[in-house]
Amino acid sequence: MDIEKLKKYDWSRVYFVIGTSYAGKSTIVKNLAKKHNGIALEENYHDAKLPELDSKEFPNLCYTRDLQDWHEFIRRTPDEYYNWIQNVKKECEIVEFQILEELLPKPENQGKLIFIDTNICVETLHQITDDKHVLVMLSDPQISITRFFDRPDAEKQFLYKLMLEEPDPQAALDNYREILTRICSKESYDELEKAGFPIIYRDENRSEEDTVCLAEKILGIVV
């Protein structure tokens, strides 16, 4: 990653949202963009580039694109899955910046605020922007582990169906729970909490509208 090149870009209109699962990242990005007539780059927006990626340059991102049998995906050990996720994040960062470098100069985007649910790492964000342009959103790690398959979205239900098709469905589910435990660890949570950026903690009693107002106040976005 060419940090010096990235520093030359004007990031003043760009707001990065990082954090844990089930913390509301995609929701806040969508709602802020809607309220401010901005641009929302929601979860996994890097997928737009996936068809054109070279598997030699981006082997981890291309793993699912080129996968022939999705049962292999859920049969990986927690260590294999965790290491893959960490490498995916590194590759995502490269692709995300490629997208942003294309997006920022476009005439139709000038003056618009851009809100991003991002994989860009804390270290990179500290080098290119400030704490008025990064928001950390956190939820209890146990929520991601215990409620992963409660979400109705197609991706998670697809994985759940695959596990039920396994010779030993319970063993498959237990293995994936262990994978989630590794990914949603207390260590990962603590790292984000101590990242040095402002934080919004998940609160079941806070409305989406209230969360938007809280984010605007934290980030200094004028209504």
What CATH topology corresponds to 3-219? Rossmann fold (3.40.50)
pLDDT at 1 over 70: no
Asked if residue 152 has pLDDT above 80, the reply is: no
Tens-digit pLDDT profile for residues 42-101: 988 999 999 999 999 999 999 999 999 999 999 999 999 999 999 999 999 999 999 999
Burial 53-87 (b: 16+ CB within 10 A, else e): beeeebebbbeeeeeeeeeeebbeebeebbebeee
State the amino acid at position 204 in one-letter form.
E
Query: Is the distance from CB of 11 to CB of 4 less than 8 angstroms?
Result: no
Of 125, 97, 121, the residue nearest 41 (C-alpha): 97
Give the model's pLDDT for residue 90: 95
pLDDT at 10: 87
Distance, CA of 13 to CA of 77 (rounded, Å): 41
- To the nearest whole percent, how much of the chain has pLDDT over 90? 81
pLDDT, position 6: 82
Per residue in 110-122, pLDDT (tens digit) is 999 999 999 899 9
pLDDT at 153: 78
- Given a contact cutoff of 8 angstroms between Cβ atoms, the answer to whether 30 and 42 are in contact is yes
Using the CB atoms, write b or e for 145-172: b if 16+ within 10 Å.
beebeeeeeeeeeebbebbeeeeeeeeb
